[in-house]
Amino acid sequence: MILRIPSGIPGFDVLTSGDGVGGIPENTVTLVYGPPKVGKSIFCYHFMYNGLLQGEPCLYITSDYGLKQFQQNTRDFGWELDNYFQDETLCLIDAISSVSGSKIVDTPTYLSSSVHNPTDIMVKLGVGTRFISQKSARFRSVLDSLTTLMAFNQEMLIVRVLTAYIMRIKEDGGTAVVTYTEGSADSKVETMLKAVVDNVIHLDGNEITIEAMVGTGKKKSSYEITDSGITVGE
Amino acid sequence: MKKTYIPKLDDLLGGGILEGVSIMFCAYPGVDCEAFGYQMLNGRVEDGDRGFIFTNVAEPETIQYEFNSYGWNLESFIDSEKVFFVDGSSSFLGAPSESKYTIQDYAEVEDVILDAINDIPKGIGIINNLSVLIDYMGNGDTIDIIKNWNQKAKENETTLVYIFTEWDYDTGLIQKIKESMDCVVDLTTIEERVIIGQGFMVARASWTEPVETMVLFFVVQPGGVKVYVPKILVTGPYNSGKSSFVKAITTESVSVDRKALGAFPTTIAMDIGHVDYKGFLADVFGTPGQERFDLILNVLSKEAVGAFIMVDSTAPKTFARAKEMIRKTRAEAIPKIIVANKQDLPDALSPEEIREKMKLKKDIPIIPAVVTEKKGIEESLDALLKLLYGD
Amino acid sequence: MKLYESGVPGFDALLGDVGGIPENTVNLLYGPPKVGKSIFCYQFMYNGLLQEEPCLFITADYGLKELQQRTMDFNWFIQTHMQQQNLYVIDLLSRLSGKKLEDSANYKISSLQNPTDMMVKVGTGTRAVFQKSTKFRSVFDSLTVQFAFNPDHLVLRVLKAYINRIKEARGIAIITHTEGTVESKIEDYLKNTVDNVIYLDGNNITIEATEETQEVKAPYTIDDNGISIG
């Protein structure tokens, strides 16, 4: 019996339901990949926000959008995050604001880091995972995106960092989604990414493909992005 | 001279090691070699020297944990600044490091270690692991780097200890590496289909003609490298029943192996045990049957007081090998008992038929046995005791 | 000569009249990500355990906790076999979690970047399972992450030492590798180092030709009971 948690994406959980309740298998790591601008980050916002609504805290590592942009992006879909920062169920590791020169003061739920410094990201990850996993035995985590980390660092180093990240999240009982832009790294590295995660989901702008998922065969469906986020199927 | 803090090793090296020498532990894959470096460092630092550990195989935290399991307090050495790390592992994993030196890139490794050597004149540096370095740096570069380190260590009178795993490198390369060291200690496995023991042997030392002998060892936690000198050997061709015989004659409660296992799992087990029979106490080792281990037989039998030679009574083809092993073990000189095993099988030869086929003198007892059924065990022990002490 | 049942329905028949995998055989199981390589290994391990054939399992993709979870998804319960010490696990991954973990007599923690230490544990592990039964199995799942943590050449050297250890004891082993994660010349080398090469692509399983045998190919499926062929 494989436990699954809801993704928060309308249609997705139906797509992934076999004989039971669909969703993302608990305590696994899912890679969401595809070309640029097909909704990978939106997928992550859904996953995070749905968890927060159900009282599952989230550790979110952002390397593409700084705090302000991140909040704006989610607000576009009507998802307000302020409350969750305040009640300390959302912890953000911001690896990009410091690069653009913005100075934001660290709080228990806002940790500034840098895409240039994977070691520091790992330190913050340790702090963040401890903080979040103490809140709840069941929690979610997002790493958006590997692409940016790989652009600023040796690709293989990021594979090793990802391996450690996966191990930590799973050991503490979390479920994670990581994103990657198709074709941005060496093809050997890309294959390795698919190998180290549990589930692989491909988005191409029109179709979502479940390439691999624990307990689910290959699945495919159309999807669209509207004001309320991603909708899978008709 | 400095001590190595490895039991028996100083004796083989003419008393110890000279100031500022390089020493490499060259291990066959599967031998526990890291303990040798750590034990040397621990001994030296406890006696007042300073040291560093270069690691590219484990984070400093893991190494501290390992020291603890041996019963050595690396943490206090670090707190009191007697020992520091050159951390070539953490940044590779994207993990933070609080070490004095961290290596971000292998291109830095040569200079950083030169600095580290400079920091600890008359001290000791451990390089763990040299083989991993080779595959990152390329062959030629590594040898030049080793030479520079060893030169600097000589000037500073710092001891450099290299841990090297002898994977399937080109033999020419291994030769060159060995030649760049003042001293090489080979660590080998003793096998019969699986590893049944480990031994060390000094291959070369620039300051002395090393004693050519192999020393059996095992690694225990706590404790570290322990030397094992068996007094009774159990030998014989392959499949003659040596392991079962060793098991049958030894008492579990006092076996070194078991005791160590009880404290903490040993990193490697051996076919060893302890006999406690009618007031007679001795350590036992079952030696492998293959020819490539004949050297060990030879070496071990110098210290042994007696030997059991196992033969499979149904396999006359192996008798010639058994006879040869008797010769190799120099068991001619020590009391020995032939154990004619597998007497329960239909085509087993009788002890007298075996004596005839092997052309053995009348005064060598041949005891019929079925080791799996514990038959002939006491008789074998009694026979050896009789030879040792008379009636 | 000892024969081993793979435990994967339909697989042994693919091997011809022999009816199983002969002793002293090292098999490379490779293919793209997520085609069932690990599941094949679990099935192979578990089938052996049910027949009192102990197993030395090197896990490099999942920690022990996950290995237990993932096998349980198929109703294969390894816990009792660990208690009976028929299953010996070398865990190369769990240390990355940053947690303090304790070894036991047949659960050893090593790390991806310390092959020397791993081989020490392979040494004790083969000895331990061999003493349980000379008919034993081994699984190395997988090489993929090894390549991210070590220079390619070192991974190959270690692999060779592992294969020697298994062959010396006349055991049988499966090694898995994800296709396309290393250069093709390294992949060729991998294939040349083993006795049998088995390819999974998600739909078909192919046993590649050897000097004595021809290529065989058959469709396979994965369900709650694991992999079945044909």
Q: What is the CATH number of the domain that holds B383?
A: 3.40.50.300
Helices (H) and strands (E) in chain A, counts: 8, 12
CB contact under 8 Å between C113 and B93, yes or no, is yes
Are residues B201 and B322 located together in one domain of the fold?
no
Give mean pLDDT, residues C76-93: 96
Nearest alpha carbon to residue B28 among B190, B165, B172, B133: B165
C57 located within any domain:
yes
Asked whether residue C66 carries a pLDDT value surpassing 60, the answer given is: yes
Q: Which of B276, B383, B391, B284 is nearest to B336 (CA)?
A: B383
If asked whether residues B113 and B196 sit together in one domain, one would say yes
At residue B331, does pLDDT exceed 70? no
Q: Using CA atoms, how far apart are residues C85 and C107, in angstroms rounded to an integer?
A: 9
Nearest to C165 among B30, B135, B136 (CB): B30
- Say yes or no: A154 contacts chain B, CB-CB below 8 A: no
In angstroms, the CA A72 to CA A89 distance is 19
Chain B residue numbers with beta carbons less than 8 Å from the beta carbon of A118 are 94
Query: Residue B168 in contact with residue C154, Cβ under 8 Å?
Result: no
| pLDDT per residue as tens digits for the range B249-276 | 887 533 344 334 433 334 445 667 788 8
Residue numbers of B between 180 and 209 with CB closer than 8 Å to A: none
- Record: contact C169-B129, CB cut-off 8 A: no
With contacts defined as CB-CB under 8 Å, which chain B residues touch C124? 195, 266-269
In the numeric block, the tokens 């689910």 are attached to A216
Cα(A11)–Cα(A46) distance, rounded to whole angstroms?
12
The parent domain of residue B72 ranges over: 9-226
Task: At C51, list the tokens.
Answer: 């027949």
Put simply, the answer to whether C100 touches B196 (Cβ < 8 Å) is: no
Residues in C closer than 8 angstroms to A130, CB to CB, are: none
- Please indicate, yes or no, whether residues B209 and B271 belong to a single structural domain of this protein: no
The predicted-structure confidence for B87-111, as pLDDT tens digits, reads as follows 999 999 999 999 999 999 999 999 9
- Based on C-alpha coordinates, what's the Rg of chain C? 16
Nearest CA-CA distance, residue B5 and chain C, Å: 22
- Does the CB of B314 have a partner CB in chain A at under 8 Å? no
B68 touching chain A per CB within 8 A: no
Residue at B4 is within a domain: no
| pLDDT tens per residue across span C13-27 | 998 888 899 999 999
The pLDDT value recorded for residue B273 is 78
Domain presence at residue B215: yes
Which pLDDT value is given to residue A50? 96
**Domains in chain B, number:** 2
The lowest-confidence range among A128-137, B17-26, C177-186 is A128-137
How sure is the predictor about B34, in pLDDT bands with cuts at 50, 70 and 90?
A: very high
Domain extent at residue C69: 23-192
Whether the pLDDT of residue B230 is over 90: the answer is: no
Contact B95 A119 (CB under 8 A): yes
Residue C96 in any domain: the answer is: yes
Residue A213 domain-assigned (yes or no): no
Residue C214 in any domain: the answer is no
What strand order describes the sheet that includes B280-286?
A: B272-277, B280-286, B232-235, B306-312, B336-341, B366-368
* pLDDT top residue among B296 and C140: C140
Check CB contact under 8 Å for C120 and B267. Answer: yes
pLDDT of residue B267: 40
Residue A188 and residue C182: Cβ atoms within 8 Å?
A: yes
Contacts B–C by Cβ distance under 8 A: 97
Mutate to test the interface with A, among C181, C201, C225 (most CBs of A within 10 A): C181
pLDDT confidence tier of residue C88, bands split at 50, 70 and 90:
very high
Nearest to C178 among A156, A159, A191 (CB): A191
B333 CA: distance to closest CA in chain C (Å): 33
Q: What's the whole-number mean pLDDT along residues B35-50?
A: 98
Report DSSP state, residue B349: P
Which of A203, A143, A150 shows the shortest CA–CA distance to A175?
Answer: A143
Q: Which chains pack against B, by 3+ Cβ pairs within 8 A?
A: A, C
Q: How many of the other CB atoms lie within 10 Å of CB of C19?
A: 10
| Cα–Cα distance for residue pair B83/C13, rounded to 1 Å | 61
**Vertex B187, ends B184 and B190: CA angle to 5°?**
150
Q: Which residue of C has its CA nearest to B189?
A: C123
- CB contact under 8 Å between B194 and C127, yes or no, is yes
Decide if B96 touches A, using CB distance below 8 A: yes
ipTM, two decimals = 0.94
Pairwise CB contact (< 8 Å): C120 & B168: no
- The residue ranking higher by pLDDT, B160 or B259, is B160
Q: What spatial distance separates the first Cα and last Cα of chain A, rounded to whole Å?
A: 29
8 Å CB contact between C87 and C169: no
Tell me whether residues A164 and B93 touch, CB distance under 8 A: yes
Phi, psi of B381 (to 5 degrees): -65, -45
Query: Could you tell me which residues are beta bridge partners of residue B190?
Result: B197
- Tell whether B59 and B204 lie within a shared domain: yes
Separation between Cα atoms, residue B347 and residue B312, nearest integer Å: 11
Examine the fold and report which residue of B197, B226, B255 is the final residue of a domain before the chain moves on. Answer: B226
CB interface of A with C, residues 209-228, below 8 Å: 211-212, 214-215
Cross-chain residue pair B129–C111, CB shorter than 8 Å = no
Check if B91 contacts A (Cβ < 8 Å): yes
Give the pLDDT score at A215. Answer: 82
Q: First vs last Cα of chain B: how many Å apart?
A: 50
Cβ distance C177 to A192 under 8 Å? no
Instruction: Mark whether B106 and B162 lie in a shared domain.
Output: yes
Q: Does B93 touch chain A (CB under 8 A)?
A: yes
B30 shares its domain with B104: yes
Instruction: State yes or no: pLDDT of B222 exceeds 90.
Output: no
Interface of A with C in 11-50 (CB under 8 A): 27
Q: Would you call B129 helix, strand, or coil by DSSP?
A: coil
Same domain as B219, residue B157: yes
C10 within domain boundaries: no
Element (H, E) at C130: helix C115-132
| Cross-chain Cβ contact A192/C97 below 8 Å | no
Q: Exposure of C63 by Cβ count < 10 A (0-12 exposed, 13-18 middle, 19+ buried)? A: buried
Q: Given an 8 Å threshold on Cβ–Cβ distance, is C33 in contact with A167?
A: no
Is residue C213 assigned to a domain? Answer: no
Q: What is the mean pLDDT of residues C129-158?
A: 95
Residues of the domain holding A121: 39-187
Q: Does A95 touch chain B (CB under 8 A)?
A: no
Residues B234 and B184 both lie in one domain: no
Per the document, the length of chain C is 230
From chain A residues 22-61, the ones with a CB under 8 A of any chain B CB are none
Q: Which of B363, B308, B362 is nearest to B331 (CA)?
A: B308
Indicate yes or no: CB of A188 within 8 angstroms of CB of C34: no
What string of DSSP letters covers A37-93? Answer: TSSHHHHHHHHHHHHHHTT--EEEEESSS-HHHHHHHHHTTT---HHHHHTT-EEEE
Note whether residue B3 is domain-resident.
no
Residue where a domain stops, chosen among B226, B245, B277: B226
Model confidence at B196, pLDDT cuts 50, 70, 90, reads confident
- Whether A142 maps to a domain, the answer reads yes
- In the structure encoding, which two tokens stand for residue A56, read together? 């599952």
Is pLDDT larger for residue C230 or for residue C186? C186
A182 within domain boundaries: yes
Can you tell me the distance from the alpha carbon of B366 to that of B336, in angstroms, rounded to the nearest whole number? 9
Q: Does C99 touch chain B (CB under 8 A)?
A: no
Rounded-to-integer distance, Cα C198 and Cα C210, Å: 11
Interface of B with A in 97-126 (CB under 8 A): 97
Which residues lie closer than 8 Å to C95 by C-beta, 6 or more apart? Answer: B62, C101, C109, C110, C111
- Residue A130 covered by a domain: yes
CB contact, 8 Å: C150 with chain A? no
SS3 C58: strand
Give me the residues of chain A with pLDDT under 50, please: none
Of B177, B209, B226, the domain-final residue: B226
Question: What is the CATH number for C124?
Answer: 3.40.50.300
C75 and chain A in contact, CB less than 8 A: no
Scanning every residue of chain C, which has its alpha carbon at the shortest distance from the alpha carbon of A218? Answer: C202
Task: Tell me how many domains chain A contains.
Answer: 1
Cα–Cα distance, C24 to C21 (Å, whole number): 9
Residues of chain B found within 8 Å of residue A120, distances taken between Cβ atoms = 96
Q: Is C36 on the interface with A (CB under 8 A)?
A: no
Q: Count of domains in chain C?
A: 1
Residues of B in Cβ contact (< 8 Å) with A157: 92, 94
Distance CA A203, CA A200 (A): 10
